Structure 1
């Protein structure tokens, strides 16, 4: 009889142990991380975050998640502290405590996402969903409490560090001075908005030593009097392309538009339509790469993190170049000298033309995703389907970056040289991120 009871007790313990272990099938699923990043992406979209600020939202949230993973799997992943020179050592977990590091990484991501977006607490309901999901899957109470506590510890550490990146100081910096000097950027229709984030080049980068570390050559000199000048030919190239767009070129321009806030004007009425910006688009592509490669949870977090770092530094570099060059947009020149009624295919964003932001940040992200998931990985991007834009297919991440660059010429908002140089600059930034950050221990 005692043997029967003993076997029954062992069976019950084994059942309880298996049930408790089942929760990891839920909390360690990489799809849950992809969904979590998309949730932040949706909040960024809903609250009209400009592209440069959006990149800041993504990078700190992803780094917080990654640092939790690195702490929990130090045999395979290195902390970014020390690799990012100004990131102080992250508090390490108590080895005596049982922690679900994947679950904690999700919570840490959300904690930071909550703090860097507005209204503050936008991810709170989603966090509640995550916690209920973990409990329903059978996570033991001690693991739950330890995971929540460690997530909060890492998130607070990352947030404290984030406050030293000069973002707060640039909120009260001087505005861009608009002058009517030929060749210099001025606001464009229909919004005629003031210049966006003219001091973003002063934000502290992650891997770059400074915003100017990877310089871009000077743009062609402004010249609308000589029809043989590089500048005049560049202007006419944009006009001719927009005036004769093919169906595929139109789709390309629309697909990569990524306008976070487009003002639509019909007669005396106006209304805004929103999409996620270019950084959000590339966060989606990181998710596609993860899913396509069947990457595990930790690999997925690492890929998102390096891509977000590349995007963040690329925007800082690009914005430094933009406000140093202060180049006029094609729309302004064409309307003044060639055709006052000419319109771009997509809306011109409110900042100087040279160099192309899409070209720089796309190429930088593509380099890190190529390292994470491999070169010549064909994929289909359906990110824009929620905005009614059909998907596009690409032979590789680099091919997508090249298309993102040329799409801005088809859209009528960039000269081709700004896109070509932007792609070259972005690849250098991505290469630098790949070289300096060695997340995985071989």
Structure 2
């Protein structure tokens, strides 16, 4: 099978949007917003020859709706629902075929490109997502976005673009995703606001993703932090304006998510101590309505950050606070085992991981960490057996494949043959969507 390609239609655009800058695109679209009557027709748009301004229920947008967790039609914060008497905006600049790249296949092992169970790229996008075939889903999303959606159907366009960018990230094509996300331009522009209600037309989850991709695309992590703080400011304003407790809770959850993503950017920058201190501020509130489970999750994140820094004492304090809020024997036991590994007490770590493995034999995370601890004390054959069995009983994830490939390198000079056989074995399986079906060359260390 040849390398999957979007095969996007190469159709000429009479209005020249492909050559226009992001600001020029928005300027042209805003001018169209005030027109009415025959000028609103799509008959002269080569991308809309099979789509009318009003998409019927059988359109691709409705077919894709089961996967849209943030669709405006189901969100409590959709004040523009039912308001169809305003001039529709033209988003055809999102349908420029030259904005979407052919996905490289050089970083994918051949068995995954030629697998007999590989579905067709023409399969429904929800099916591709459910089976973990993110590369094919990215290709299908680009094809549908370019050729099968009305340029005024912003809901379907943004949904498909979100699938495209998210799937690129899931197959480790972050650079391509960052470049393609630039097609949106400045999402703080009034062009992306509803003309009557001022509600943002772009789904919240897509806005979060584009902030991170903007930081990646420009190589400036601080740009990502500023973007999240800008979204946080909007959350605070909407909390004040919310008319129901449901809306207020939603915006509070989004505000907390922005805070967690700021910590994530700090970790990616290497500012681990700053990330730990920032996470500490997210749980310092005395709000009695705060969810104890959410607070516990953030404290556990803080503990893991301090563990990476090497401050085991601070990590222990965080774990103690989290256990006081809501004890979790499995997770707390796993972090205590990590403490032993951080202290280089691998014998104690093996003992702790074994106890957890006996209680939770089906937990892949516990099994893998037990194998790593066994490796540290020199029991390579036992570690290899555990990881090899795990590939048969659990959906394979990236760190599992990487660790098993490392053990092959330690055990035999013919490790490349072992890695190739492992790739063929994993490519022959059917994806269940619990993890990505495709595994890259770097994980196999080929």
TM-score, normalized by length of structure 1?
A: 0.26
> TM-score, normalization: structure 2?
0.26
More helix by share: 2
The answer to which structure, 1 or 2, has the higher relative contact order (CA under 8 A, 6+ apart) is 1
